[in-house]
Structure 1
């Protein structure tokens, strides 16, 4: 394996009893089934370099987020079928209902509630408008951290977090040009700078700045503006991570809160879970990692 593998960054996410990986040209899914066997499948990825919009800052962040959500939901549904032995996939109506409930919960807990609490607290302490925005951002960040820490107490979620750690270790080992055996991959860090959950924490930080110039109306106005400005916040956050990842020392400082946050969203995986992550990466690249020569300048992918 060559250290030039780092010139072809790959990405992915954990799913139920498995890992989803993205290579330059396709997605690879690997899931540990109830009989212990690893099921693998792949499908073509959107070639970003061929898209005009991929060259546009901010917009490419939205494209990435949409693609990850779309493919991620598909992979989660498929992994649930395979790992849990479910025969039927979720219906479009069930899916739409789940998404609607999730969106309402997200807006309520991570948008409306912090805005309301910051407004009440700001009025009580006679804070300036900017200070209220800072308080709102801190509350939003605190809610998010508490939420992740809380779900991490659930056994099934801890298992997903272990596969998340396996995904990170596998990518770190691959980008370092390591011998891709499960035992060797296990020695690598479970922290990775392009992690999607780190991206969410950066979104919280960037939102403080963006929302501070969004105007200062009533409660409903503030909530509406935050929802409308969310695409801009997502796009800017993507550019922050993209820039920070290319500047090692400065990037480490900028991304330190997000990298530290990964100690909540990952757990140390087992050798068996590393095997699944390696299988997913091989499926995404289209050939065994032992045959991969590295050194190829390929399209960029992001976790």
Structure 2
């Protein structure tokens, strides 16, 4: 097992990977070619934030969002999962339905849970259309293969550190927070944004705890919804072409980061 950790994100036409100081993105263009770009991260959180519970999760989220902007500038061909018109329409429909449910629910916890579930609609549309789910599986496979010194084709398409593990606790914490505020007459976008940020920070801490305590009943229960979501919605078994794209991103990231560890060619050999 390698000491360094690599994160990533599936695109509509490729894979984005990022390490401690750099990112690499590979996409397959309309003519079938693989385009690869990489760069150093322009924003990395200050080191002291890593020791502040709650804030460190938000710092990582900000770092990931900043990388997306860099990718779009360096590789215009990269298509983010939420750029499709169907996904945008799903987001608008979910927002309208959520507002209606919230008005009828009067700030109840059940209404807030319903609003949260409706908020998942755009992600589900993005994952089930096109190749996003397959590229998500390819991303997981090449990362796991590099970490384990194995071949990508032999690895599972689900990954233990996938961000989908944050979805269930974020949804639950956001629903509870919004319900409590509304019962006290606190409403509006600012209050909702504050609740979402607090929920994201707390969800990150719960996930980090479950990672450290894997094998315990509570830790496994916290990760169960994320594993289920990956298996049913979030990933699909990638084909050779999708694995080739993910492998190209991995090779470029390892080159730029000069990461020690398992050989990228070993991970790619089963692709």
Normalised by the size of structure 2, how large is the TM-score?
0.77
Cα shift at 1:193: 2.8
Give 2:211's match in structure 1, choosing from 232, 241, 245: 245
2:58 aligns with: 62
Hey, what does 1:194 align to over in structure 2? 161
Equivalent residues in 2 for 1:81-100, closer than 5 Å: 81-82=76-77
Q: Structure 1 residues 39, 222: closer, same or farther in 2, change over 3 A?
A: closer
Q: Tell me, yes or no, if the aligned pair for 1:162 and 1:267 is still in contact at 8 Å.
A: yes
Gaps of 5+ in 2: 263-271
Change (3 A) 1:238 1:111: farther
Residues 169-184 of structure 1: matches in 2 within 5 Å?
A: 169-178=141-150, 184=151
Match of residue 267 from structure 2: none
Give the distance between the partners of 1:18 and 1:140, measured in 2 at CA: 31
| CA root-mean-square deviation | 3.4
Task: Please say which structure displays the higher CA radius of gyration.
Answer: 1
Q: How many correspondences in the alignment?
A: 252
Note if 1:255 corresponds to 2:223.
yes
**1:277 aligned onto 2:246:** yes
What do residues 247-275 of structure 1 show as CA deviations (whole Å, max 9, x unaligned)? Answer: 11233321111221122121111111111
Q: Report the Cα offset of residue 23 of structure 1.
A: 1.3
Which 5+ residue runs of structure 1 have no aligned equivalent? Answer: 85-94, 120-128, 179-183, 295-303
Question: Could you say what secondary structure the match of 1:191 adopts?
Answer: coil
Counterpart of 1:226 in structure 2 is 192
Residue 205 of structure 1 is matched in structure 2 by 172
Cα separation, partners in 2 of 1:47 and 1:145, compared to 1, 3 Å: closer
Deviation at 1:283, TM superposition (A): 1.6
